[in-house]
Amino acid sequence: MKILFVSMPSVHVIRWIENLKDTSHELFWFDVLDRGRLDTLESVTQFVEWKKRKVQPIKGEYFLSKKYPTVFEKIQPLLEVTANEALEKIILEIQPDIVHSFEMQGCSYPILKTMQKYHNIKWLYSCWGTDLYYYQQFPIHLKKIKLLLSRVNYLHTDCKRDFEIAKQLGFQGKHVGVIPGGTGYKLQDLEIYKLPLEDRKIILVKGYEHHLGRGLNIIMALEAIKNQVDNYEVVVFGAHPVVIEYIQSHQLGFKVFDRNGLSHQKILELMGKSLIYIGNSISDGMPNTLLEAIVMGVFPIQSNPGGVTEEIIKDGVNGLLINNPESILTIQNLILKSISNHYLLERAAHENAILAKDKLDYDQNSIKVISIYDIILKCE
The predicted-structure confidence for 175-201, as pLDDT tens digits, reads as follows: 999 999 889 999 999 999 999 999 999
Q: Is the pLDDT of residue 374 over 70?
A: yes
Which pLDDT belongs to residue 72?
Answer: 87
H-helix or E-strand spanning residue 323? none
Q: How many helices (H) and strands (E) does the chain have?
A: 15, 13
Concatenate the DSSP letters of all residues of 226-264 into one string: TTTTTTSEEEEEEE-HHHHHHHHHTT---EEEETTSS-H
Domains of the chain: 2-184+362-379 (3.40.50.2000), 187-359 (3.40.50.2000)
Give the SS3 label for residue 47.
strand
Q: What is the mean pLDDT of residues 312-331?
A: 98
- C-alpha angle 38/32/264, rounded to 5°? 40
Q: How far apart are the first and last CA of the chain?
A: 11
Q: Is the pLDDT of residue 380 over 80?
A: no
Which pLDDT belongs to residue 133?
Answer: 97
Angstrom distance (rounded) from CA 148 to CA 364: 31
Q: Sorting pLDDT into bands at 50, 70 and 90, what band is 301?
A: very high
Which pLDDT belongs to residue 377?
Answer: 86
Rg of the chain, C-alpha, whole Å = 22
pLDDT tens per residue, range 91-139: 999 999 999 999 999 999 999 999 999 999 999 999 998 999 999 999 9
Q: Sorting pLDDT into bands at 50, 70 and 90, what band is 365?
A: very high
Angstrom distance (rounded) from CA 154 to CA 149: 9
Mean pLDDT computed over every residue of the chain: 95
Q: Is the pLDDT of residue 68 over 90?
A: no
- C-alpha angle 269/193/254, rounded to 5°? 40
Q: Sorting pLDDT into bands at 50, 70 and 90, what band is 59?
A: confident
Angstrom distance (rounded) from CA 175 to CA 164: 10
Which pLDDT belongs to residue 73?
Answer: 86
The reported pTM is 0.92
Which pLDDT belongs to residue 69?
Answer: 85
Report the relative pairing of strands 202-206 and 174-178 from DSSP bridges. Answer: unpaired
Cβ atoms of 324 and 221 within 8 Å: the answer is no
Closest to 268 in 3D by CA, of 350, 183, 199, 204: 204
Starting at the edge strand found earlier in the chain, the sheet holding 255-258 runs 255-258, 233-239, 202-206, 274-279, 299-303, 320-322
Q: Is the pLDDT of residue 210 over 70?
A: yes
Q: Is the pLDDT of residue 281 over 70?
A: yes
Which pLDDT belongs to residue 57?
Answer: 87
pLDDT tens per residue, range 165-182: 999 999 999 999 999 988
Cβ atoms of 280 and 325 within 8 Å: the answer is yes
Produce one character per residue of 214-228: b if its CB has 16 or more CB atoms within 10 Å, e if not: bbbbbbbbbbeeeee
Which pLDDT belongs to residue 66?
Answer: 86
